[in-house]
Structure 1
């Protein structure tokens, strides 16, 4: 059978696996702990939802696949292989497609790494979070620092691309502590690392502790100093901050996440997954049912667990594109901004606020009319953006 022609924008695919061994106290993701994980049912539902969406979207050019969670390394490798094979059947897959899977450094999950590589995964993201045992206990992690290092070394021998996460700005953490831990971590880096400041998210265990005065985070000055130290030390190891929390060597950036930050189209399937899709000239914000079993019921009944597909008004697209794009070191391209929002970049900005932000060194105008935030400005995006928009 002849394949249908490629249509529409290039596409990134996010596949959400909602199950975890335990719920981390800082995590606000849609993750669920189950005594027994019904893997077979959920993989079948993911395949069905993917086919349903492909029928709606047409044969798009697929540039990346990201298995996120939850803990997708709890999936059986043959289930991962089946989903990758289905994506190849339904879409026009780029020859250099990036296929990432998130994994934790527990013995159960690390034992599956070769199976994931055989399934077609070519980039693994390890949730290490810290190289200090006491910090791992505080963060509710199921692995030790020794296991984290062993997992990273094993992953580097299996996958062509490896990244991992660390969380800093923890209670009681000094600049000297973080600099030492970060330097140890960066000796293990291949080409990419994500370095996140600890934040208190609504609905998490840490939020309850924070409200009770039992969680003491670094003040703004110390947090800023830790961020500056992070950029400085990562740079010494050849990794540049291409986004607020992400560092990479040249051409090793996460292609999937760049789709989000550059405001491209992405399809999210699985419980609670979000998407941004261009259909017939409209941009839709899509959302799936969060409860895993209810989502699966909906997919089995009608092919999709989608609960909403709302058209984004121009002002919403402008706000989202600026919020995402200004996180990037490269900033927001003026031509691309007009293509995605229907408006000129300068029309979206309050002229007086923009002038003040330039004077204060928070943003810079680019030669072709684009806009980027400085390192100082990227730390203030959430406060700055509402004032910057016209």
Structure 2
């Protein structure tokens, strides 16, 4: 029986009045076949024997801990991220989903996403994930060109990526895949051709990220040594504008600064983050935001996989951080997350969360230069002109 078959139709979360009722579970699987040179996520290459069932048992134990902290929630989204969750046995995915279902009500329209790399895609494995309850897959394609794939450290070919996308689309109700652009030596014409191909392949959702240099990565070392030339500010802006134009014309407009979807195909899990809802984070390095006794807790787990497992076995959880955010910190986080969205933010909710109103003077100044606008429903949102300088807009409003 599919895990989804017995889902409850109950809705709503009985939490504090500053909540918007959104609640999800993020499951971090930390293992990868190889470490990509641009990646700063908590991912680890593990070689040798591995007791996967024992590791999965630690997830179940940590879920018990969080369920005691935030009982009575309704789960609208579950996301398996990493690392490479598609290296998991489908039975492991099923066991974690069953553990989640034991502790919270599961919404009838729950979105259950699993990230996958094209190199770890097999038809039987994908069918196993679908049988376990996964109803959305996000594929890390990253490029549709062989040379850049190799430079990005990806272990799949273009043909493998295309085959994986087609296979996923034949098995799962909803799919997405990622591409990275504004790469070294990439031209606007190159990107136009590549993105056009991707838009022909995509069914409902695309994540399109400009390459960024993150501290602690191999690309960071190369960049600091002058061995990696990145596009300048003007060219990066041109890449962004071209991306918006092509996706809009193809019927997949941006609903968030790097995410594009047909109406109704947006990532429900990521919307929980951007709309500043609640989410439990389980697994090595996972983060969470939880409302407990009218306070928002920021949680983070031990990053090293087997250290995390030992902590869970010893005390029931792997958390190394559990901070209570001030109202000001909550307000700043809401601005950072919510202004990424095309729908913008509700300034009334911001005031309830932060205890202060957004400065009318700052709003007026940003409107005057065309970076901000007020929608008919009263929401504030960043304009097309303002999106490329989003960080500066957020900083002005948070000041």
TM-score, normalised with respect to structure 2: 0.93
Q: Judge conservation of contact 1:104–1:110 (CA < 8 Å) in 2.
A: no
Q: Would you say 1:388 and 2:397 are equivalent positions?
A: yes
Q: Judge conservation of contact 1:74–1:109 (CA < 8 Å) in 2.
A: no
Q: Judge conservation of contact 2:146–2:157 (CA < 8 Å) in 1.
A: yes
Describe the shift of the 1:155–1:368 C-alpha distance in structure 2 as closer, same or farther (beyond 3 A): closer
- Structure 2 equivalent of residue 39 of structure 1: 52
Q: 2:270 aligns with which of 242, 250, 257?
A: 257
- Structure 1 equivalent of residue 286 of structure 2: 273
Describe the shift of the 1:109–1:14 C-alpha distance in structure 2 as closer, same or farther (beyond 3 A): farther
> Following the alignment from structure 2 to structure 1, what is the Cα–Cα distance between the partners of residues 234 and 283?
40
* Cα deviation 1:74-131 (Å, max 9, x = unaligned): 1100000011111111110000100000000015556511111111000000000000
Describe the shift of the 1:369–1:235 C-alpha distance in structure 2 as closer, same or farther (beyond 3 A): closer
Q: 1:361 aligns with which of 370, 377, 384?
A: 370
SS of equivalent residue, structure 2 residue 201: coil
Q: Judge conservation of contact 1:25–1:204 (CA < 8 Å) in 2.
A: yes
Describe the shift of the 1:108–1:229 C-alpha distance in structure 2 as closer, same or farther (beyond 3 A): closer
Q: Would you say 1:7 and 2:14 are equivalent positions?
A: yes
* Cα deviation 1:44-73 (Å, max 9, x = unaligned): 101110111112211211000000000000
- The CA RMSD over aligned residues, in Å, is 1.7
User: Where does the alignment leave 5 or more consecutive residues of structure 1 unmatched?
Assistant: none
> Following the alignment from structure 2 to structure 1, what is the Cα–Cα distance between the partners of residues 76 and 180?
29
Q: Would you say 1:170 and 2:176 are equivalent positions?
A: no
> Following the alignment from structure 2 to structure 1, what is the Cα–Cα distance between the partners of residues 85 and 393?
35
- Structure 1 equivalent of residue 216 of structure 2: 203
Q: Judge conservation of contact 2:23–2:74 (CA < 8 Å) in 1.
A: yes
TM-score, normalised with respect to structure 1: 0.95
Moved more, 115-124 or 51-60: 51-60
CA drift of 1:375 comes to 2.0
- Structure 2 equivalent of residue 329 of structure 1: 342
Which segments of structure 1 move beyond 4 Å, counting only runs of 4 or more?
A: 107-111
> Following the alignment from structure 2 to structure 1, what is the Cα–Cα distance between the partners of residues 394 and 110?
33
SS of equivalent residue, structure 1 residue 187: helix
Q: 1:185 aligns with which of 158, 179, 198?
A: 198
Q: Judge conservation of contact 1:63–1:97 (CA < 8 Å) in 2.
A: yes
Describe the shift of the 1:177–1:14 C-alpha distance in structure 2 as closer, same or farther (beyond 3 A): same
Q: Would you say 1:29 and 2:41 are equivalent positions?
A: yes
Q: Judge conservation of contact 1:103–1:126 (CA < 8 Å) in 2.
A: yes
- Structure 1 equivalent of residue 331 of structure 2: 318
> Following the alignment from structure 1 to structure 2, what is the Cα–Cα distance between the partners of residues 224 and 235?
17
CA drift of 1:261 comes to 0.3
SS of equivalent residue, structure 1 residue 128: strand
1:335-346 residue pairs with structure 2 within 5 A? 335-343=348-356
* Cα deviation 1:291-329 (Å, max 9, x = unaligned): 111110000011100112111111111111011111000
- Structure 2 equivalent of residue 374 of structure 1: 383
User: Where does the alignment leave 5 or more consecutive residues of structure 2 unmatched?
Assistant: 1-7, 16-20
